[in-house]
Amino acid sequence: MKINKLYRLFTLVSLILLCFCNVTIAQTNGTEVTATVVDEQGNPISGVDVFSPKGGKASSDVNGQFKIKLLDDESVVLEKKGYESVIIAVSDLIGNITMEKSLFLASEDDEIKMGVATKYRRNIIGAVSSINTQDRLTYDNTQFVRNYINGLMLGVRGSDNIRGIGNAVFVIDGVIGRDPNILNMEEVEQITVLKDANSVALYGSQGRNGVIVINTRRGKANKKEVKVNVRSSISVPISLPNYLSSAPYMQLFNEARNNDGLDNFYDPALIQEFRSGSNKFKYPDLDLYSSEYVQPFVNSTNIITEFSGGNDKNQYYVNVGWNRNEAWVNINDDINAGTNRFNVRGNLDFKINDWITSSLDGIAIISSNKSSRANLLSAATTLRPNTYSPFLPIDLIDTSDPTVAGQLQAANTFNGMLLGSTQQFGADAPIALAIAGGYRDTVFRSTQFNNTINFDLDRITKGLSAKTYVSFDFYDSYNLSINNQFKTYEPTWEGDRITSLGVFGEDIKDQTENVTTNGFISRFGFYGLINYDTTFAKDHSLNTTLLGFYNSQRQNDVIQTDVDAHLGFQMTYDYKKKLFFDFTGTYTNSIKLAEGNRGALSPTSGIAYIISEEPFLKNSKFINYLKLKASGGIIKSDQGIDGYYLYDLNYSSGSNINWADGNSNRRQDITQGENLDLTFEERIDLNIGLETYLMNSMWLEFNYFKSELDKQVGFLNDQYPSFYNNFRPYNNFDKNLYTGFEIGMNFNKTYQDFSVSLGANLLYSQTERAKRSEVFAEDYLQTQGTEISTIFGLVDQGFYAETDFNTDVNGNRVLNAGLPVPQFGSVQPGDIKYQDQNGDNIIDNDDRIAIGQASSPWTYGVNLNLKYKSFNFFVLATGQSGADGNKLSSSFNQYYSVDGNDKYSEVVLGRWTPETASTATYPRLSSQTNQNNFRTSTFWLFDTSFFTINRAQITYEFQDTFCNKLGIEDLSLNLSGTNLFEIGENKDVRRLRIGTTPLSRAYTLGLRMSF
CA distances to 37, 49, 86 from 46, in Å: 8, 9, 15
489-523, pLDDT tens digit by residue?
999 999 999 999 999 999 999 999 999 999 999 99
Task: Tell me the C-alpha distance between 601 and 595, whole Å.
Answer: 16
232-287, pLDDT tens digit by residue?
999 999 999 999 999 999 999 999 999 999 999 999 999 999 999 889 999 999 99
Q: Which amino acid is at 386?
A: N
Task: Tell me the C-alpha distance between 124 and 607, whole Å.
Answer: 9
Domains identified in the chain and CATH numbers: 5-98 (2.60.40.1120), 328-462+476-525 (no CATH)
Task: Tell me the C-alpha distance between 788 and 854, whole Å.
Answer: 9
Ramachandran category for residue 288: left, alpha or beta (phi over 0 → left; psi -120 to 50 → alpha): alpha
Task: Tell me the C-alpha distance between 34 and 648, whole Å.
Answer: 76
Task: Tell me the C-alpha distance between 736 and 855, whole Å.
Answer: 15
Rounded to 5 degrees, what angle do the CA atoms 732, 733, 735 make?
120
In this prediction, residues 976-985 reach a mean pLDDT of: 97
β-sheet bridge partners, residue 162: 156
β-sheet bridge partners, residue 31: 70
By the 8 A CB rule, do 979 and 1002 touch? yes
Query: 4 or 310: whose pLDDT is higher?
Result: 310
Instruction: Compute the CA torsion angle 523, 524, 525, 528 (nearest 10 deg).
Output: 180
- pLDDT value at residue 8: 66
Contacts of 460 (CB under 8 A, 6+ apart): none
CA distances to 11, 193, 210 from 114, in Å: 35, 8, 12
By the 8 A CB rule, do 81 and 101 touch? no
In this prediction, residues 547-573 reach a mean pLDDT of: 95
- What are the φ and ψ backbone dihedral angles of 779, each rounded to 5 degrees? -60, -35
Widest CA span in the chain: 114
By the 8 A CB rule, do 628 and 579 touch? no
930-961, pLDDT tens digit by residue?
999 999 999 999 999 999 999 999 999 999 99
In this prediction, residues 547-564 reach a mean pLDDT of: 94
By the 8 A CB rule, do 107 and 83 touch? yes
By the 8 A CB rule, do 573 and 540 touch? yes
Among 332-346, 389-403, 419-433, whose mean pLDDT is lowest?
A: 332-346
> Is residue 28 predicted with pLDDT exceeding 60?
no
CA-closest candidate to residue 122, choices 694, 627, 743: 627
Task: Tell me the C-alpha distance between 769 and 789, whole Å.
Answer: 9
In this prediction, residues 727-734 reach a mean pLDDT of: 94
Rounded to 5 degrees, what angle do the CA atoms 827, 828, 832 make?
70
Task: Tell me the C-alpha distance between 196 and 895, whole Å.
Answer: 41
β-sheet bridge partners, residue 192: 130, 213
Q: Work out the mean pLDDT of the chain and round it to a whole number.
A: 94
Q: Which amino acid is at 286?
A: L
Among 327-341, 350-364, 743-757, whose mean pLDDT is lowest?
A: 327-341
Burial (Cβ within 10 Å: 0-12, 13-18, ≥19) of residue 832: buried
> Is residue 1 predicted with pLDDT exceeding 50?
no
> Is residue 968 predicted with pLDDT exceeding 70?
yes
Q: What is the DSSP string of 825-893?
A: S---TTSEEE--SSSSSEESGGG-EEEEESS-SEEEEEEEEEEETTEEEEEEEEEEES-EEETTSGGGT
Supply the DSSP symbol for 794.
Answer: B
Q: Which amino acid is at 312?
A: D
In this prediction, residues 182-208 reach a mean pLDDT of: 97
670-714, pLDDT tens digit by residue?
889 999 999 999 999 999 999 999 999 999 999 999 999 999 999
- pLDDT value at residue 667: 82
Per residue, what are the HEC states of 241-279? CCECCHHHHHHHHHHHHHHCCCCCCCCHHHHHHHHHCCC
> Is residue 657 predicted with pLDDT exceeding 90?
no
Rounded to 5 degrees, what angle do the CA atoms 906, 908, 911 make?
145
Ramachandran category for residue 40: left, alpha or beta (phi over 0 → left; psi -120 to 50 → alpha): alpha
Q: Which amino acid is at 43?
A: N
842-892, pLDDT tens digit by residue?
999 999 999 999 999 999 999 999 999 999 999 999 999 999 999 999 888
- pLDDT value at residue 668: 84
> Is residue 18 predicted with pLDDT exceeding 80?
no
- What are the percentages of helix, strand and coil residues in the chain, rounded to 5? 15, 50, 40
Task: Tell me the C-alpha distance between 618 and 177, whole Å.
Answer: 43
In this prediction, residues 746-764 reach a mean pLDDT of: 97
- pLDDT value at residue 282: 96
Q: Which amino acid is at 878?
A: T
In this prediction, residues 787-802 reach a mean pLDDT of: 97
pLDDT over 70, % of the chain? 97
How many other C-beta atoms can be found within 10 angstroms of the C-beta atom of residue 853?
A: 18
- Label residues 16-49 b or e (16+ Cβ within 10 Å = b): ebbeebebeeebeebeebebbbbbeeeebbeebb
pLDDT over 90, % of the chain? 86
- pLDDT value at residue 665: 86
The sign of the torsion formed by the CA atoms of 498, 500, 504, 509 equals positive
Task: Tell me the C-alpha distance between 79 and 100, whole Å.
Answer: 11
Pairing of strands 111-113, 118-120: antiparallel
Task: Tell me the C-alpha distance between 933 and 827, whole Å.
Answer: 9
CA-closest candidate to residue 122, choices 608, 797, 724: 608
- pLDDT value at residue 73: 76
Contacts of 363 (CB under 8 A, 6+ apart): 343, 344, 345, 346, 446, 447, 448, 449
Q: Note the pTM of the prediction, 2 decimals.
A: 0.93
36-66, pLDDT tens digit by residue?
999 999 999 999 999 988 778 899 999 999 9
By the 8 A CB rule, do 911 and 924 touch? yes
By the 8 A CB rule, do 553 and 561 touch? yes
